[in-house]
Chains A and B, each alone.
Chain A
Amino acid sequence: MELLRVEHLTRHYGEGAARVVALDDVSFSVQKGEFVAIMGPSGSGKSTLLHLLGGVDRPTAGRVLVQGTDLYAMDETALAIFRRRQIGLVYQFYNLIPVLNVQENLTLPLLLDGRRVDKDYLERLTGTLGLTDRLNHLPDQLSGGQQQRVSIGRALIANPALMLADEPTGNLDSRNSAEIMTLLRHFHEEKGQTLLVITHDERIARQADRLLTIEDGRITRDEAVRP
């Protein structure tokens, strides 16, 4: 079943001579439960693609459909609500809210939605993430690996249809990187979470089902890694 469909997605920055084509007529689709890795050299357009898939940027042309819903046909408010319910984003630099403690950061999408937090689910999730004894800590009281685990938890708390991660291990040492990837794989394999991960690390890419390679804003390769 197709979960994500990208049609002729294009993104330009700047005008005239200064115009940069970050993404150039990209089309592909992702099936529900698929784990897709996206690789490419710096400046190839990986992050731009991920931001457009996450609904946090606006394309110059083209469409992004998540479960048949065209993200950019919605107004700002509807898109924001869609984002918090259907898309989980994980950044390289965690981007946690410094004034909220771990529990509040984790449950932020639910709190914003005015939804009740399922305590059992939260307990299981924090247990899996290894954050049970850190719930009342502020982000700057955590290590980088712990912060990234909070951001993964935040991305998953609302059971989103699609989880996007932008170099989630790019800021971590090898031990923490391995832990984070284990977690992501766990959620993919155990919960069937659809996952798109941008990475520079070939070893991480090899853990995915499918690998997309981007160069100069275009998909140059689309290969199955683990059939």
Chain B
Amino acid sequence: MENTTPPILQLHRLDKKYGKIHAVNALSLTIEKGNVYGLLGPNGSGKSTTLGMVLNVINPSSGSFSWYGGSLDVHQALKRIGAIIERPNFYPYMTAAQNLKLVCRIKQCHFDEIEPALKLVGLWERRDSKFSTFSLGMKQRLAIASALVNQPELLILDEPANGLDPEGIHHIRELIGTIAQRGTTVLLASHLLDEVEKVCSHLIVLKNGVKYFEGEVAELTNTHGYFKLATANNSALISALKKMKLFSNITSQNGFVLAYPERPVAPETLNEKLATQQLFLSTLDYKNPSLEEQFLSLTQNTPQP
């Protein structure tokens, strides 16, 4: 028998079609305990559909997923996780505390956790106010509190900052940071790169339902950067660069040549080498790409299998 603990969540070629629209395309993923995942993709890339499927509210067209290695039924597994999706959904005629008690009954957890959860999101004073009287930011914070009442092993957040004002966004991000630092596994779906970059250790990039990247954020941002170059004769420059066998990719863009080194190359060395070939640079720019640039280049390339 294998003694390794199974991943919290595993997706195997999960697929969802809405008529002609292929919302999620044969997506395979693994969510391991202890990591903070960012599920990144533009609007309509299939993030919410993917989460809806593993959360038992959308039926997959094909493929499968398993919680805790398949040892638990989906609804049993969901009692052990916390999830907030798009918009907070609660009973408007119940107070914050009553709503959380109901969640506790469903999740079969203790009422004791309601107080710390409400205090964490700053709603303890408003616990006896009806949900319908809350502002959007407060509703969103109540949703986070409700996702925390069972002390979840995995917290799933779908666009948690959507529709909030800057102060609200800041508050929510701080909260996510706090929760991630406690060691809770987090899966954060967002179309906002800086949001993901700030809190996530792992990244899954999705576009049109297809996975373009899965790995650590560090893998993406700790690259060797790239050079932005220009001379009087760019085609000569390109052939010279190719001969050096230092670059994995050389492209031409708006009168500049972009060269992506395979291993670290110092700008001085490059400049010296080109000068010996009578190529004098009018531009030599060494850039370390931001996650945003990486994201854009990723989604322009071919997807990962």
Binding between chains A and B: no
B-binding residues in A (CB < 8 A):
none
A-binding residues in B (CB < 8 A):
none
